[in-house]
Every structure is written in C-alpha cells, then in structure tokens.
Amino acid sequence: MFTSNRICLIKLKEVVSLQLKRKPTHVLTGDFRTRCFCDKKDGNKSTHSNNNRPTDTDNIKIEEADSILDSKYKIFQESDAPVLLDVYEEKMQLENKIDIVQHEQNEYHGLNLERGVLGVYDIEDLVELLRRDKAEDIFVAKLPAAANYVDHIVVVNGRSKRHMTGMAERVRRVFKKKRMSSDILPRIEGEGSSHWMALDLGNIALHIFSRDARQVYDLESLWSVGTEFDTLANAPDDPLIALLKKHAISLNDITSKAE
C-alpha cells in the first residue's frame, strides 16, 4: 500500500507540473482528485512486488517537478518578512533620525566650510572654531618665512582631557569637510595624553595643553620672543650636567699613531 501511495504521489507531481504550466488556479479539480487517488483494480496483488517500485525515470520526474515548483514559488522565511513597528516605535525612530540630522546641521552651522586661501584652514576660521568650543587663553603667533615651518602657531588650554579631545576631534572633522582630495587628513598627536595634544594642519600648528602643562613648556615665549629671551632655553644646566661638562675631555685633537 505504501508503494502504491508513492506512485500516486509521483503522478500527482507530474499533473501539478503540467497544471502549473497551463493554469495554476485549476490544479485541484474533481477529475484530478479522482484520477490520482483511485484504488488499484486488482487488490489481490502484493503491494511489495517489484512492478510497484518506483523506477529511475519516476525519480527523475519527481526532481523535475520539484525544480518547477521551486522556480515558480519562493519558500517563505520569517527572516525575509519586514518588521512592522507600532505607532509609538515609528514615532521614536523618526524623532531619532531628525535629531541626528539636526545635530549635524547645528555642529557646522555658521562655519565656513570652504577651503582657505593659504591652507585648508585660514587662521581666522580656526580661531572662530576654537572660540565656539570654549577654548581658553587662545594664543596666535605668526612665524617668519625664514623659519621654514608653518605660517602660524596656535596654543590653547583645555579644561579637561575630555574637553581637549573634543576640540581636537572637532578641528579634525571640520578639516575633513573643508579639505580637497589632495589634502592629507591630520593626525591627532598625543591623543591618549591628558596634558598635551597637537595637530599639524599644514599651514598652522595647533597645540592643546592643560593649564599646568602649558606653564611648563611655555611655547608662547619660545615662538614670540625667540630663543635669546626664552627663559627655558637660557636656563642654567643641571648641576650634574655642568660638572660632567667641566671634566669632559675633547677627543677632536687626538690623532692615532699611524698618522
């Protein structure tokens, strides 16, 4: 009986494949059910005989029917279904998107996002950005062309490591908006430090210090009055270093025996 049902299923798939090619809406008709599920006329024959076993041709037909069904219809999967949100969830999602857009617009609102004349930043644009970020004690020094370094040195204070990092990252983000494809994106030097960070902006060197570290390094004196009047550059040597220099012997006048 099992083999007989299997043969009926084979016939069923053959008819389904033919019906799908013609008119899929008329697959399960009364005549179709009668032909496919009728009992065998001779009930005395053994259901386990070799004649009732499916042949290789039947298996090929089954595979062809399966391929036809797979090509016409897609198996539904839960992962393919869209997620339907309720009214509250859709409202929250929309508000979050609006907040993100508004935050980006407010961050650059009023800033000059055009590339500067002498570099990506003109000094006026950088000072305006630092003032917006509440940088403390902004110092700007113009360097002579003979220095062969940058056009301007900018030194500012940060209230905390978080404030210093925020200023450096924002200067870098605005640089990315203003730059051309040929301009190299600056790297934040000393990013993990809580006392000093710096960015090389091409024509401007920006130094961000904590209050204590700024007093120690005193870059204002070094770049404004020069090394001749810089107290750190002209500070006396450590006593130990002075003692070593006093008793050091110069080897410049010593010659080898071969000479």
Chain segment 157-189, per-residue pLDDT in tens: 999 999 999 999 999 999 999 999 899 999 999
Domain with CATH 3.30.460.10 in the chain: 123-217
Q: Candidates 3.10.25.10, 3.40.50.261, 3.40.50.740, 3.30.460.10; correct CATH number of 123-217?
A: 3.30.460.10
| Per-residue model confidence as pLDDT tens digits over 90-147 | 777 777 766 565 555 567 777 888 898 989 999 999 999 999 999 999 999 998 888 8
Give the global pTM: 0.51
Residues 212, 202 contacting (CB under 8 angstroms): no
The percentage of residues in the chain with a pLDDT greater than 70, rounded to a whole number, is 53
